[in-house]
Amino acid sequence: MPAPQHLRNEDNKPDRIIKAALEVFAEHGLHGTPVPPIARKAGVGVGTLYRYFENKEALVNAVFRDTKQRLKDHLTDGVDLNEPSRALFNELWDRLTGFARQNPAAFRFLEMQDHHAYLDNDSRQIERSLLVPIGMMILQGQQNGLLNPQLRADIAIALFWGGFVGIFKAEAQGYLTIGDADLLTARDACWQAIRHHPKSEGITQ
């Protein structure tokens, strides 16, 4: 027998609050956003919000964990990170592009820097659960001669992520208009930044 409507509504309140908080945080940032506008957007009272999330920090962490997990699933489901290749790089770029296009609020929230002060151990663990496999993939790519062995794995990730975020952030702010061909050019430039260039080793330019 299906649960009564009021119980179903009660069950989805946390999800509604997380979704509303994501949209409000993505638009207005974290520090300047009080809780009442989030409650209004979620269609709940402030007291109800605090029943599920004891304070703003708990809410930020819930939003971060939900959003980061969705990004991780989108990037890695069905992908073998143990076999680094140019094709895998292209696949990850395409998946990241798809996530940014399909989930603009989630992407804006994740590229913010001001949420890091709020993150608890569980949130940082979810972040590591995505970064560590990608870091291992880069190390394997360096060992098999695919990627630049002089680049630390975390710097390679920063080059890839920073270049991608910079493009989409500039587009969101109206500085760029990005077409599919532009994204392919940017993808190739990011690849050139991290791939192994054996002929240039030992040459100072």
| Confidence at residue 7, expressed as pLDDT on a 0 to 100 scale | 45
Cβ pair 141, 84 in contact under 8 A: yes
**Residue 2 pLDDT more than 50?**
no
Could you read off the pLDDT of 33-53 as tens digits, one per residue?
999 999 999 999 999 999 999
- Do 105 and 49 sit in the same domain of this protein? no
Question: Which residues touch 183 (CB under 8 Å, ≥6 apart)?
Answer: 93, 97, 167
Q: Which residue has the higher pLDDT, 161 or 1?
A: 161
> Does a structural domain hold residue 195?
yes
| Confidence at residue 199, expressed as pLDDT on a 0 to 100 scale | 72
Q: Which amino acid does the sequence have at 166? A: G
- Do 101 and 166 sit in the same domain of this protein? yes
Mean pLDDT of the chain: 89
Residue 26 structural domain? 1-54
Confirm whether pTM is higher than 0.75.
yes
Q: For residue 30, give Cα distances in angstroms to 14, 53, 161, 163, 176.
A: 19, 16, 22, 24, 25
| Confidence at residue 45, expressed as pLDDT on a 0 to 100 scale | 97
- Do 76 and 157 sit in the same domain of this protein? yes
When mean pLDDT is compared across 18-27, 121-130, 138-147, 196-205, the lowest value belongs to: 196-205
Show which of 54, 74, 99 is a domain's final residue: 54
Q: How confident is the model at residue 192 (pLDDT cuts 50, 70, 90)?
A: very high
What CATH number does residue 155 fall under? 1.10.357.10
% the chain with pLDDT above 90: 70
**Residue 9 pLDDT more than 70?**
no
> How is residue 134 written in tokens?
């990608």
- Do 130 and 169 sit in the same domain of this protein? yes
> Does a structural domain hold residue 59?
no
Q: What's the domain count of the chain?
A: 2
| Confidence at residue 203, expressed as pLDDT on a 0 to 100 scale | 41
| Confidence at residue 198, expressed as pLDDT on a 0 to 100 scale | 85
> Does a structural domain hold residue 204?
no
> Does a structural domain hold residue 205?
no
Q: How confident is the model at residue 31 (pLDDT cuts 50, 70, 90)?
A: confident
Q: How confident is the model at residue 111 (pLDDT cuts 50, 70, 90)?
A: confident
Handedness of CA 68, 27, 39, 54 (dihedral sign): positive
